[in-house]
Every structure is written in structure tokens, then in C-alpha cells.
């Protein structure tokens, strides 16, 4: 319920409320009367509340299947169209310049206390970015990619292939932390989209009223603030992904009933598991079934013996 309210309902209710206020103020048909936007009678207020609730609930249900796509668009996966692909390449160059500047600042010799703080901050920010050759056009995309391409790779696992499987093996406390951080990320992303949509609607309604243009600017400001919150949540989520592999990578092997590796063979074993997840090769590992009862084969024909060739067990003389 908390995820439904925070991730789906609240952003949609914000958008519906803004559009309803513009409609009641008459912004689409003439000069806005903001006094008329607020219901004066209790019955009118209840009706407006019901309209917002119903429309926001319906809009949230319709948009829920597109949640992953909403995040990926803000991440910078824009290669499907030529125009957005070209814009993405330009923004990647900007991200690379920032990455190089951070790298130089992180490697620069620090003589004083202030310089050491600057270098430490640069090192912290650089750790939240992926490698230079896999940068995405946006800060949100780079924050998530830092976890997607390094959390499991430190142990030989491919993160994107193994994450859905290892996520089901985490402890309750870890699962709650991951859910909470992911809800914060999705909520911030949806708020960003809601403010952007509300800004576009405001531009269409207030283009001929200069006195109301500040509302559009405020919408863009709130969208930028929500986007910044999404980046912060994405960095926290990437950090939790690293912790998940630190603590639960062996639980994945136990769930698959593979024997645990030694420190020397760990990377090789996990690389083979990742290849099997991607259907590149079939593993030749023996199975390990801890706690399983050993299989005892008896050939004396007793009632507890193994059946061979479909023959029924022989009755003993005492039973006769």
C-alpha cells in the first residue's frame, strides 16, 4: 500500500490536481481567475476531491506497467530514434568531460587539509560513476549503471543476469532496505514526470498570460529537484546492490545446489554460473544437496529393497 500511494497515486494526484485547477480557473479559454480554482462550497470541494481521487487512481493503474520505461528514459537510453540518439551522444561527451575532471581532481596531490577534502569528495563522486567507456547521457543513468556493471562483476558474476536470482535470496532486512530505496527512486522519477507534464500543460494554458509564466518556471524547478532526488536514491540503490553481492552471493550457489567454491576458484565458478544464466554454456558442476537423505540400494528383495525391472517386492516367510 505504501508503494502504491507514494509511487503511483501521489504523482498522478499532483498532475490531476494541477490540471483541474487550470480548468476551473479558465486558463485554457481566457484570462485565469485563480479565485475560482478553489472550491467555495463543501459539496463542491468533496466533488473535486472525488474527481482527483478517481482520475489519479485510474491514471496510476494505466501507467504502472510503464514504470521501468519511465526510469530508463530518464537514464538516457535514447538509441531507438535518430534525433534522441544524437542528443544522447552529445550529452555523453559532457559526462565524459565531467568524469575526466573528477578523475584529475581525485588523483591530484593534496598538500593542505582543504585540498585533501576536495580530493576525498572527488574520489567519492567518482566511485558513484561507471567507467569512462560505458557512460550514459544522464546522471541518473550513470548512478544506476555504476551498480549494474560492478556489483557482481567483482566476484565474476554478471550483475544484470544474476540480480533477479540473488534478490530472492536476500535476508528480510536487506530486502526491506532494497524495497524502500527502490520505492524512493521510482517515486522521485514519477514526481519528475508529473512536474514536467504539468509544466507542459501550463505552457499550453498560460502562453498568453505573462503573469502566470512563473508557474511554468516553478514546475521546471520542482522537476529538477525531483530528478536530483532520483539520482541520490539511485546512488543509494547501487550501493545496496554491492552489499547484496558481498553478503548473499554464496546463498545464490546454495539455492542452485552448487558446491561452495574456495577463494581461488570463486571467480571461475561465478563466471560459469553467469554464462549458464545467459545460455552461453551448460555448467558441468556437481550438485550439492546438504541435508538430503543418502540413497541406499538393497538387492536382497526385501520389502524395503530397490525395485528392479518393475517386479514387485517378495513377501517374507514370516508375513505368510
DSSP-derived secondary structure for the chain: -HHIIIIIIHHHHHHHHHHHHHHHTTTTTSS--GGGGS--SHHHHHHHHHHHHHHHHHHHHHHGGGHHHHHHHHHT--TTSHHHHHHHHHHHHHHHHHHHHHHHHHHS---SHHHHHHHHHHHHHHHTS--GGG--SSHHHHHHHHHHTTTTGGGT--HHHHHHHHHTTS-HHHHHHHHHHHHHHHHHHHHHHHHHHHHHHHHHHHTT-GGGHHHHHHHHHHHHHHHHHHHHHHHHHHHHHHHHHHHHHHHHHHHHT-PPPPTTTHHHHHHHHHHHHTTSS---PPP--TTPPPP----S--TTS---TTPPPPPPTTT-
Same domain for 115 and 155?
no
**pLDDT recorded at residue 307:** 37
Same domain for 182 and 241?
yes
Could you tell me if residue 295 is inside a domain? no
Could you tell me if residue 261 is inside a domain? yes
Range of the domain at 103: 78-136
The answer to whether residue 297 scores a pLDDT higher than 60 is no
Task: Provide mean pLDDT across the span 291-309.
Answer: 49
Same domain for 117 and 25?
no
**pLDDT recorded at residue 304:** 42
Same domain for 116 and 145?
no
- Confidence class for position 294, pLDDT limits 50, 70, 90: low
User: What are 91-141's pLDDT values in tens digits?
Assistant: 999 999 999 988 888 887 766 788 788 888 888 888 888 988 899 999 999
**pLDDT recorded at residue 38:** 87
User: What are 185-221's pLDDT values in tens digits?
Assistant: 999 999 999 999 999 999 999 988 888 899 999 999 9
pTM of the model: 0.84
Same domain for 108 and 64?
no
Task: Provide mean pLDDT across the span 274-303.
Answer: 69
Same domain for 60 and 87?
no
Could you tell me if residue 186 is inside a domain? yes
**pLDDT recorded at residue 251:** 94
Same domain for 101 and 62?
no
Could you tell me if residue 285 is inside a domain? no
User: What are 56-68's pLDDT values in tens digits?
Assistant: 999 999 999 999 9
More confident residue, 313 or 42: 42
The mean predicted confidence, pLDDT, of the chain is 87
**pLDDT recorded at residue 282:** 75
Amino acid at each position: 500500500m505504501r508503494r502504491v500511494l507514494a509511487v503511483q497515486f501521489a504523482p498522478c494526484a499532483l498532475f490531476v490536481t494541477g490540471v483541474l485547477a487550470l480548468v476551473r480557473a479558465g486558463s485554457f479559454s481566457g484570462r485565469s481567475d485563480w479565485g475560482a480554482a478553489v472550491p467555495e462550497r463543501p459539496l463542491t470541494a468533496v466533488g473535486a476531491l472525488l474527481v482527483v481521487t478517481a482520475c489519479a487512481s485510474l491514471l496510476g493503474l494505466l501507467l504502472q506497467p510503464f514504470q521501468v520505461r519511465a526510469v530508463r528514459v530518464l537514464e538516457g537510453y535514447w538509441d531507438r530514434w535518430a534525433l534522441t540518439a544524437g542528443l544522447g551522444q552529445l550529452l555523453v561527451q559532457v559526462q565524459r568531460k565531467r568524469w575526466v575532471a573528477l578523475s584529475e581532481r581525485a588523483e591530484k596531490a593534496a598538500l593542505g587539509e582543504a585540498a585533501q577534502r576536495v580530493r576525498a569528495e572527488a574520489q567519492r563522486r567518482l566511485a558513484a560513476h561507471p567507467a569512462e567507456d560505458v557512460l550514459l547521457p544522464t546522471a541518473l543513468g550513470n548512478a544506476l549503471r555504476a551498480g549494474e556493471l560492478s556489483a557482481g562483476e567483482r566476484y565474476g558474476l554478471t550483475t544484470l543476469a544474476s540480480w533477479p536470482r540473488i534478490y530472492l535470496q536476500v535476508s528480510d532486512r536487506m530486502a526491506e532496505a532494497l524495497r524502500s530505496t527502490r520505492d524512493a527512486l521510482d517515486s522521485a522519477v514519477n514526481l519528475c514526470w508529473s512536474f514536467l507534464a504539468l509544466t507542459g500543460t501550463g505552457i499550453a494554458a498560460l502562453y498568453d498570460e505573462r503573469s502566470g509564466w512563473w508557474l511554468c518556471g516553478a514546475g521546471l524547478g520542482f522537476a529538477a529537484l525531483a530528478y536530483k532526488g532520483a539520482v541520490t536514491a539511485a546512488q543509494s540503490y547501487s550501493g545496496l546492490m554491492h552489499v547484496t553481492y558481498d553478503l548473499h552471493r554464496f546463498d545464490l550457489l546454495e539455492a542452485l545446489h552448487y558446491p561452495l567454491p574456495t577463494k581461488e576458484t570463486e571467480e571461475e565458478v561465478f563466471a560459469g554460473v553467469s554464462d549458464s544464466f545467459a545460455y552461453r554454456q551448460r555448467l558441468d558442476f556437481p550438485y550439492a544437496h546438504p541435508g538430503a537423505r543418502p540413497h541406499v540400494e538393497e538387492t536382497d528383495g526385501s520389502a524395503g529393497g530397490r525395485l528392479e525391472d518393475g517386479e514387485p517386492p517378495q513377501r517374507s516367510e514370516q508375513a505368510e
